[in-house]
Amino acid sequence: MGNGSVYKLIPGIFAEKVEDPRRAQALSGALIAIAGALGAFGGVLVNLPASV
């Protein structure tokens, strides 16, 4: 539930800070992609020492 709310907040923050709506959408999409990649990497990193 908390993870989904972060993804919901990101586009709203960029919409307030950036004047061009297309640029705000592109920036928020990029940030959501980075956050998802880091989250996935964190899940792998946590389980890595357990398998060694």
Q: Is the pTM above the cut of 0.85?
A: no
Cβ atoms < 10 Å from Cβ of 28: 19
The two three-digit tokens of residue 48, written as one number: 């890595």
Question: Which range of residues forms the domain containing residue 15?
Answer: 2-51
pLDDT at 4: 79
Q: Where do the H-state alpha helices sit in the chain? A: 2-17, 21-51
Domain count along the chain: 1
pLDDT at 46: 78
At residue 45, does pLDDT exceed 90?
A: no
Q: Supply the DSSP symbol for 19.
A: S
pLDDT in tens, 25-42: 999 999 999 988 888 888
